[in-house]
């Protein structure tokens, strides 16, 4: 099982180390790994779909890092402040076949 490396993730998100330190990016990657492991059954070898969802999780974390409560400012939206959506259809689509089924 292999998640994308720090270098692969940095290349994907296109955020230089001068804007986001390796330590901060690694922390975001660890959180994305924890989230994915908690929600999905991870087969070996690690599938590309889960790798893409992992990169997307990290990318969303980076996008939200400077947004208090996930809010996008008034100048960025036509009708006032907007929230960063909690649901990401691409992550859902990539992880759907691997989701752990939980019965209540």
Q: Please report, in tens digits, the pLDDT of each residue of the chain (104 residues total).
A: 578 999 999 999 999 999 999 999 999 999 999 999 999 999 999 999 999 999 999 998 888 777 665 555 555 556 655 666 677 889 999 999 999 988 87
Tokens found for residue 32: 């994305």
pLDDT given for residue 78 in this prediction: 61
The domains of the chain are located at 6-98
pLDDT given for residue 75 in this prediction: 55
Q: Which residue has the tokens 């809010």?
A: 71
């Amino acid at each position: 099982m292999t998640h994308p490396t720090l270098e692969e993730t940095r290349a994907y998100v296109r955020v230089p180390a001068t804007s986001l330190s390796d330590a901060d990016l690694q922390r975001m990657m660890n959180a994305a790994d924890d989230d994915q492991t908690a929600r999905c059954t991870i087969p070996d070898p690690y599938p590309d779909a889960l790798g893409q969802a992992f990169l997307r999780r990290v990318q969303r974390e980076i996008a939200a890092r400077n947004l208090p409560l996930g809010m996008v400012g008034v100048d960025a939206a036509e009708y006032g402040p907007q929230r960063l959506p909690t649901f990401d259809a691409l992550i859902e689509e990539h992880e759907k076949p691997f989701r752990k089924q939980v019965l209540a």
